[in-house]
Amino acid sequence: MTTTCVKRAFKYRFCPTDAQAAELSRTFGCVRKVYNLALAARTEAWAIRQERVNYNATSAMLTAWKKTEELAFLSEVSSVPLQQCLRHLQTGFTNFFGKRAKYPRFKSRKKSRKSAEYTTSGFRFNDGKLTLAKMAEPLAIVWSRPLPEGAKPSTVTVSQDAAGRWFVSMLCDDPGVKPLSTMDTAVGVDAGLEHLLTLSTGEKIANPRHEREDRARLALAQRRLARKAMGDGANRAKARRKVAKIHARIADRRRDCLHKLSTRLVRENQTIVIEDLTVRNMVKNRSLARAISDAAWSDFRSLLEYKAAWYGRNVIAVDRWFPSSKLCSTCGALQDKMPLRVRTWTCACGTMHDRDVNAAKNLLAAGLAVTVCGAGVRPQRSSPGRQSATKQKPSRREP
């Protein structure tokens, strides 16, 4: 029996030279331009002529655009990222008509992510040195961790974040990712705000509240940005980068914390039971929206699920309507009401419960019922990007 290697992305920072930074900036601009042109062409073709335009047609359009005087600058950068952005647009339309995403949007010069993807024909990787097309020198990558032995990237994505940091992401086969030995341990996980996670074992993991720690610095930087004159001035750009650096610091620390927690749970347990929370609805509560966003429950679930798939673990999501907090984990009695302010309560059977620990125990019991008898505690859940498309144009009738 042959086992397939897991495709894994390894992301590193790098410091480009002035020439490399200029070349990459031009590439980012050309990628955005081609994407917007192709999106406009596909939208117009269907809305006006009921004509279906696919990737092959947009690729032919790209060839024609390069021959025009107005868009001749597209020939000055590598053609690989331009073709890749057309493939990404095709994927976006496929997801839209499959009701998995919204209609593709145009890329903004100021707000869109700056990135370019290179396939094997657009880069060279020899002896740990990565050289992109149209560049004479390899990138000065900060190797924070080694690539798997003998790994050769299949795609390379170069990006620049709002804080001005440069990153390169290499997609490689990682033979080191293998299923872990089977265990007989299972744990229920209740997500919260006072404590980030509460386990059915009684352990409570504190909520780091990364955004709250930097809130004062962020507010000061945002006030200084607001006082700058609107436009593309250097002072406003500098103030904007300071705000972006604080946001990046918060996001990096949050991501590091969630990675460590998810890895630990996957390594220590065979089955992990969580609650199927609708975070997009919960953040509509103006009083708790900031705290819920800072907790990043959806990110934690995503990390947990893909790591469980890597290492042969099971993640079970219990129905969001399951009364985990109001149900006594000892006798099974259901309470009529359980306001959020109630953190401890005593059941009629005499058992005193901690609200979060009791909820985690009930989640674990419900999740184990799935593995034993197939009880339906996990509803059909749409992908995070799927929403109503009643206001989207053009019609979904286009294939």
In terms of Cα–Cα distance, which of 377, 382, 256, 373 is closest to 315? 377
Got the DSSP string for 350-396?
S-EEEHHHHHHHHHHHHHHHHHHH----S-----TT----TT-SS-T
Task: Dump pLDDT digits (tens) for 37-51.
Answer: 999 999 999 888 888
β 123-126/6-14 pair status: unpaired
pLDDT higher than 50, residue 380 = no
Task: Dump pLDDT digits (tens) for 208-258.
Answer: 999 999 999 999 999 999 999 888 789 999 999 999 999 999 999 999 999
For 323, phi then psi, to 5°, come to: -80, 65
> Is the N-terminal amide bond of 384 cis, ω within 30° of 0?
no
Cα three-residue angle 199-214-144, rounded to 5 degrees: 75
First to last CA, the chain: 38
**Using the 8-state DSSP alphabet, how is residue 72 labeled?**
G
Q: What is the CA radius of gyration of the chain?
A: 25
- Taking the alpha carbons of 44, 111, 252, 115 in that order, is the dihedral positive or negative? positive
Question: What 3-state DSSP class applies to 157?
Answer: strand
**Prediction pTM value:** 0.84
List, by residue number, the catalytic residues: 190, 275, 356
Task: Dump pLDDT digits (tens) for 286-344.
Answer: 889 999 999 999 999 999 999 999 999 999 999 888 888 888 888 888 888 888 888 88
- Distance from C-alpha of 292 to C-alpha of 194, rounded to nearest angstrom: 11
